[in-house]
Amino acid sequence: MKSTILTLLFFLFLVTSLQAQSVYNLNCKVSDSITQLIKGFPGKKILIVVLPTTQTFKDNTMLKQLDSISRVHPSDLKIIGVPSVEDGADKKHLTSLKHFYRSILNDKIIITTSVNTSKTSTNQDKLFAWLTHTALNKHFDSDVKSAWTMFILNEKGELKGVLGASTKLPLKILNRILQ
């Protein structure tokens, strides 16, 4: 009985602390030794993109478009690319994946270490927990299904849009959304 009450109190504390959390209190790991704090981006829009683990023509084209968006909005947009464990981005292949990404993407785009992005993962990354749960982000309840899922945050750090991987948006329209 006592352990049940303690467990319930701990769970209640955990849920309450996550609900009060802003995206600016979160971070993303760029490498084993470097962490990028989201709070360093106030006043900027943030585009978080689940990166592919394949190297197809479509992936090359999409990465080039992502690079182009970054170059069009160099001072008012921060792009964070995230390799997803659920898509096959394990530590064993991360170095070659990052070389592939960097062969197309400019250095202004942050590429994180691979993380669990899906709600069904027992180890879902805290940033993706915030992005995928309405109770935390106050707007959307959407899971990451595959690479090219995109989350758009405004200058105040509010989640304003989620684009599924199958969303076909021309570059002009995506640029307009980000303006």
* Domain-wise residue ranges, the chain: 23-178
Higher pLDDT, 81 or 1: 81
Position 11 confidence tier, pLDDT thresholds 50, 70, 90: very low
Strand 110-111 vs strand 45-51: parallel, antiparallel, or unpaired? Answer: unpaired
Token pair, residue 157, equals: 């750090």
Mean pLDDT of 150-179: 80
How far is 125 from 151, CA to CA, in rounded Å?
15
What's the chain's average pLDDT?
85
DSSP class of residue 112 equals -
**CA separation, residue 144 to residues 9, 62, 66, 87, 169 (Å):** 30, 17, 18, 10, 18
Strand order in the sheet with 159-163: 110-111, 77-83, 45-51, 150-153, 159-163
CA–CA gap between residue 47 and residue 67 (Å, rounded) = 12
pLDDT digits 0-9 by tens, 104-153? 999 999 999 999 999 999 899 999 999 999 999 998 999 999 999 999 99
What number does CATH give the domain 23-178?
Answer: 3.40.30.10
Q: What is the pTM of this model?
A: 0.84
